[in-house]
Amino acid sequence: MHPSLLIIEDESLLGEELRRHFQRLEWEVWLATDLAEARRLLDRDGIEPLVVLSDMNLPDGNTLDFLEERGGRQSGCEWIFLTGYGSVPDSIRALRLGAYEFLEKPCDPNRLQMVLEAALRSVRAQRRLALEAAQHHDRYNLETFLGDSPQISRLRQLLARLAKVPFSSLVILGETGTGKGLAARILHACGARSQGPWVELNCAALPHELVEAELFGYEPGAFTGAKGRHHGLLEQADGGTLFLDEIGELDLPIQAKLLKAIEDKRFRRLGGEKEIQVDIQIIAASNRNLSNLVQEGLFREDLYHRISVFQLELPPLRERKSDLKVLVPTFVNEFNVKAGKRVNTFPAEMWQLFESYDWPGNIRELRNLIERCVLLAENENFPLQWINLPGNIHGEDGDSYVRIPLNGTLSLEEMEKLIIQTALERTSNNVTGAARLLKTTRETLRYRIRKYMLPG
């Protein structure tokens, strides 16, 4: 696709010369001699130039007013101004409105070409980022949080309200696998900062000594191995959202430094002397009760109060099992597409198993289980034999299971004996078959059989 250029120039000789020059360079070029003609091209003919090259003063008006009328920085293209008698106020206004460059006539053709090519790269990058942001918004919208239960309906309403509020910080609490990261992405994608960067850090995934360098960045020589400048996540998130997952895992000294950065909206890189100012929105998440951590002296109380301007608590799956009717078919369809399968029949026993299980891993556990089952399915039926929920043992025909009581009536050894005994019964005391069912080795199972004096 050829780059496109709109030239607005009332000096006909100069305008034609510019048009011929850039057409030779394989640009698509339109020429307008006044603002009225430029409006017709943009509004009536619907042209979408990537770059506008315009004189400053035209017979029917000032092009700075025209740029402001078109939306300034939001006009969707880069503007370059040429003028024979520019002034400092005009150049300041042009840059404030988002103009890419302000050049005085006569301008060297080589310099003009370099400026236009740079403006072209800039607008293409902007459009690519805008497209990615739009796709991000489509992927992470309120309906992405699946479920029809009252808890999820209330959660979506709260997310919708919070997305409209320019909050500085927010905490999302919930067990592992409940969707804290998804909720954070929805708040970013549906909020005012959706066009800004999304940056995330799992505070539990990095060694403590690396977290500070990752958050704040560093200068060359700040520590052994720091050979170049590194822009930290706070700096990368400027104008957007920084998501700090498992914030309760941060060391207290880093918590203190993070609090100061959030309060002051500025910080220094490790080994740096210059303060860097940022405008960021903080979303923190934790599967631990931060209030309890404060009481235990493991989390700073001042940081807790600073980041918890709003608190959002996500319900575990065991408290909204009615949502299984929505979640299961959705995940099955997703993995059908990925794996080229056609699972669409759900046995009643599957629903009984799912609804009787407490899902300690929540949505993540459910999704992983369904992925496994769909990948191993041989036809349109959901394969019961691959469910393998803790406390359930399925025969190859998928029509039986054992329930393990968790009310204290059985010790761990008694539970293990019951599981092995049931596996042997399902396989007619075939040790090899029972070992395959229990996903262990024959030798290990034979040892357990002798230990519990079971037949086999």
In Å, how far are 35, 147, 149, 315, 317 from 320, measured between CA atoms?
61, 9, 6, 7, 5
Q: How many angstroms separate the first and last alpha carbons of the chain?
A: 73
pLDDT of 111 reads 87
Specify the 3-state DSSP secondary structure of 1.
coil
Render pLDDT for 187-233 as a digit per residue (tens, 0 to 9). 998 898 988 889 999 998 888 888 999 999 988 888 877 777 888 99
Q: What is the amino acid identity at position 213?
A: A
Render pLDDT for 426-451 as a digit per residue (tens, 0 to 9). 877 888 888 888 878 888 888 888 88
Token output for 355:
């609804």
Contact, 117 vs 51, CB < 8 A?
Answer: no
Residue 133 has pLDDT above 60, yes or no: no
H-helix or E-strand spanning residue 52:
strand 51-55
Token output for 439:
């996903």
Q: Which residue has the tokens 């003009």?
A: 112
- Report how far residue 335's alpha carbon sits from residue 345's, in angstroms, rounded to the nearest whole number: 14
- Report how far residue 194's alpha carbon sits from residue 140's, in angstroms, rounded to the nearest whole number: 11
Closest CA to 103 of 124, 85, 123, 129: 85
Residue 452 has pLDDT above 80, yes or no: yes
Whether the full predicted model's pTM is greater than 0.75, yes or no, is: no
- Report how far residue 28's alpha carbon sits from residue 24's, in angstroms, rounded to the nearest whole number: 10
DSSP string computed for 271-282: T--SEEE---EE
Confidence of residue 298 (pLDDT cuts 50, 70, 90): very high
Cβ within 8 Å of residue 203, ≥6 positions away? 211, 244, 245, 246, 247, 248, 249, 250
8-17, 62-71, 216-225, 410-419: which has the highest mean pLDDT? 8-17
- Report how far residue 419's alpha carbon sits from residue 409's, in angstroms, rounded to the nearest whole number: 15
Render pLDDT for 261-271 as a digit per residue (tens, 0 to 9). 999 999 999 98
Cβ within 8 Å of residue 286, ≥6 positions away? 171, 172, 173, 246, 247, 248
Give me the domains of the chain, ranges plus CATH numbers.
Answer: 4-130 (3.40.50.2300), 140-313 (3.40.50.300), 318-451 (1.10.8.60)
